[in-house]
Every structure is written in structure tokens, then in C-alpha cells.
Chain A
Amino acid sequence: MKALSERIEGLDVLLEARLGGISVSLQPIPGEIPVIQAVIGGREELPIFITASPDQILCICYLWRDDEIKPEKRLELLELMMDLSPAIPLSAFGRVEGQYVLYGALSINAGLDDIADDVAALSDNALDALNALSEYLV
């Protein structure tokens, strides 16, 4: 299997083109498994993390932590997220260790174009979701 960094070589250039020239930087995150951080200009607070297992590529955007949800609106938010998930193109809501995420999963055989599509959609979706659901957050 090709290394993740090798697989996504040129992703920044491709993404910049997709986003109309907005700058994109890729940097590896040190750790046990390969993680690449994609930072999109103007959206520095919402980086996309790209990681791979032997079977799939995951693009993850961290949205909010459990303790950021208004307690009285929690159930409503969770149900809303369930209802919204199928309607969001290429991305789905999830939670990892108390951290709510929006993520896109791709086949390990996905091409660079597919990954660029996913990351671009994820970034737009994450900002959109945050905007739409911020009233549920403290």
C-alpha cells in the first residue's frame, strides 16, 4: 500500500484549483498512524484531517465537543444531526471520544480527484453545519 503522503501528493494544488485559488496547505501530524492536516485559507479554524486505514481513507473535520452543546437542546440537536446526515453530500456526522465530527469515507483505491472532491465538500459542509447549528452550542 502506498504511503498516505504519497497518495495525496498534489492534493493542495488540486484543492486550490477547486476552491478558486484559495490557498491550501498540507502538513503531516506526527503519531502512530498517518494523519495529514489540510488547512484551507480563510478557514484555518476548521482544518480537515486525512487519515487512512488499510481499507479506507477518512477525511475528518472536528466540529464541537460534547460540553459545547446547550444541555437543554442536546436531544433536539442529536435528532437533527441524524435527520440531516443523509442529506449532506459526501459527508456524515459522527462522534469520536466526545468530539463531534463531520467526515467523509472513501475507498482506499480512491483517486486524487475523489479525495479533493471530498475534502472540498467536507470543508463547505462543516462550515455550513456549524453556521446552521451554532444556536445549539454555548
Chain B
Amino acid sequence: MSVIGKLVTLLRGSARELGDSIIDANGVRIYEQELVDAREAIAKAKEELTGIMAKEMQSAREIERGRAEIARLEALAVEALDKDKENLAEEVAAKVADQEAELERQVQAHAEYALHAARLKDLIKLSEAKIREHAREVQMTRATESVYKATQSISENIGSSGSKLISAKESLERIKKRHEDLADRMVAADTLEKEFSTKALEQKLAEAGIGDEAHRKDKIMERIRARRAASANVAIKVEVQA
């Protein structure tokens, strides 16, 4: 069964200790040892494959060479017959026979090497698949274990720190509120900055003698003079009446 299949079975059975249940710690160790063994076997098979493939290539070259030699000898035999040297031709024919026997052996060996190489390649593929499956099983067990154990530590930590576990909605509200506060503060700071920059501009204008601010003093003086004049007038009127 696949690893996920095992997990599904366990989950359906509402297993609480999921991490421990897939395969126990001892099982993990056995798998780990099997992985080591399988990897070694693959390394060995690969090495052997390299040797076999070298021999395969070598025999292919031998076959090629043998065929060329037979062709060359046969040509020589034909030449001997052309010159009526029957005995010589037969001698060459005997050599061709030897060469042919050798060629057959090489062809046979070549076929065997090819078959062996193909078998080794299949073996490596199979072992690799097995390794991947085992590795995945071990990985999933360790991942499940680790996430469950981490969750346990985290909940224990939350429990022991005395901090109340608040609901997701509450968390969201708090974060949002904090975010809004920050946004408000930024708006306030922005407004303040704008005000400052307006004031600075007005001051510059006043210094240049532009705007209301520039003539404020003059206006005040005017007002004071007017008031003084008014009170002087009142005094004169009082004198006159007296």
C-alpha cells in the first residue's frame, strides 16, 4: 500500500498518535538500514554495468574486425582460385573457418553482454524505485511525527505561558485595530507635517513683505493710533462741555 494510503487508513480510524502509528521507531530504523543496503547494491550494480558495457563495446569492435578479416581472406582465396592455386585457396578457406568460429563466439558473447547490461539496468531502475518508495515512507513518517510533536510543544508552551488562546477572529480584530491605529497615526503625522509646511511658507511670505502677515504690525499701529485719536477727541469734548 502507498504511504498516503496508510495515512488515510489511520485517519479514518481517527488515530490520535498519527506520527507514531504509521511505522514505529524500530520500523523506521529497519527502513533506514534497507535504504543503506539498497543504495550499496545499486552502487555495485552500476559498477558492474560499467564493466559489462565496456566488454560489450569491445566485443562489438572484435566482431567488426573479424568480419573485415573474413572479407579480406575470402578475397585472397578468390585471387588464389583465379591463379589456379587450389591448395592455397583451401588453406585460406581453413583460416576463414577459424575466423568464422571466432566471430560466432564474439557474436554470442556480445549478445550475452547486452542481455546482462539490460538486466542490470532494469535492476537499477527497480532498486531506485524501491529506494524512493522507502525514502518517502521514512520521510512522511518523520514529517508527520515532527509536525505532531511540534504542535504538542507549541500547545504545551501556550498552556504553560498562561497566555489565553484567543480565537482567530479575535486575533484578526486585534491585528486590524493595531493596523488602523498605525494608519491613523500616519494620517495625523501627515496632517501635522502639512500644517508645519504651510506655516513655514507663510513666514517666508511675510518676510518678503507679501500677504496679511507682513502688514500686521502696521495695521495694529494704525488701530492704536485711531484709538488714541478717538480718546483724545473724547477728552476735548469733555473739556468743552466743562
Q: Are B156 and A31 in contact (CB under 8 A)?
A: yes
Q: Are B171 and A29 in contact (CB under 8 A)?
A: no
Given that A31-B149, A33-B150, A60-B150 are contacting pairs, would A42 and B172 also be in contact in the complex, using a CB cutoff of 8 Å? no
B175 sits at the interface (CB 8 A): yes
Query: Which interface residue of A64, A96, A127 has the most chain B CB atoms within 10 A?
Result: A96
Of residues 5 through 42 on chain A, the ones whose CB sits less than 8 Å from some CB of chain B are 29-33, 35, 37, 42
B50 sits at the interface (CB 8 A): no
Q: Are A45 and B175 in contact (CB under 8 A)?
A: yes
Q: Measured between C-beta atoms, what is the minimum distance from B131 to chain A in Å?
A: 14
Q: Are B148 and A97 in contact (CB under 8 A)?
A: yes
CA distance A63 to B179 in the complex (A): 19
Q: Are A127 and B175 in contact (CB under 8 A)?
A: yes
Residues in B neighbouring A46, C-beta threshold 8 A: 171, 175
Q: Are B171 and A130 in contact (CB under 8 A)?
A: yes
**Closest residue to B170 on the A side, CB-wise?**
A45
Of residues 76 through 90 on chain A, the ones whose CB sits less than 8 Å from some CB of chain B are none
Q: Are B157 and A31 in contact (CB under 8 A)?
A: yes
CA distance A99 to B176 in the complex (A): 22
Interface size on B, residues (CB 8 A): 30
B169 sits at the interface (CB 8 A): yes
Q: Are B171 and A45 in contact (CB under 8 A)?
A: yes
Of residues 86 through 138 on chain A, the ones whose CB sits less than 8 Å from some CB of chain B are 96-97, 99, 105, 127, 130-131, 134, 137-138
**Closest residue to A34 on the B side, CB-wise?**
B150
Residues in A neighbouring B174, C-beta threshold 8 A: 45
In-complex Cβ contact of B153 among A33, A64, A97, A137 (8 A) = A33
Q: Are A56 and B139 in contact (CB under 8 A)?
A: yes
Residues in B neighbouring A30, C-beta threshold 8 A: 153, 157
Query: Which interface residue of A42, A55, A65, A68 has the most chain B CB atoms within 10 A?
Result: A55
Given that A64-B168, A138-B169 are contacting pairs, would A43 and B175 also be in contact in the complex, using a CB cutoff of 8 Å? yes
CA distance A56 to B141 in the complex (A): 12
Q: Measured between C-beta atoms, what is the minimum distance from A128 to chain B in Å?
A: 11
Q: Are B149 and A55 in contact (CB under 8 A)?
A: no
Given that A43-B175, A46-B175, A56-B139 are contacting pairs, would A137 and B149 also be in contact in the complex, using a CB cutoff of 8 Å? no
CA distance A31 to B149 in the complex (A): 8
Q: Measured between C-beta atoms, what is the minimum distance from B230 to chain A in Å?
A: 64
Q: Are B146 and A53 in contact (CB under 8 A)?
A: yes
B55 sits at the interface (CB 8 A): no
Residues in B neighbouring A37, C-beta threshold 8 A: 154, 157
Q: Are A131 and B157 in contact (CB under 8 A)?
A: no
**Closest residue to B144 on the A side, CB-wise?**
A53
Q: Are B172 and A131 in contact (CB under 8 A)?
A: yes
Q: Are A42 and B175 in contact (CB under 8 A)?
A: yes
B interface residues, Cβ below 8 angstroms from A: 16, 138-139, 142-143, 145-154, 156-157, 166-172, 174-176, 178-179, 182
Cβ-closest 8 pairs across A and B:
A31-B153, A45-B171, A64-B168, A53-B146, A51-B150, A53-B142, A55-B139, A33-B149
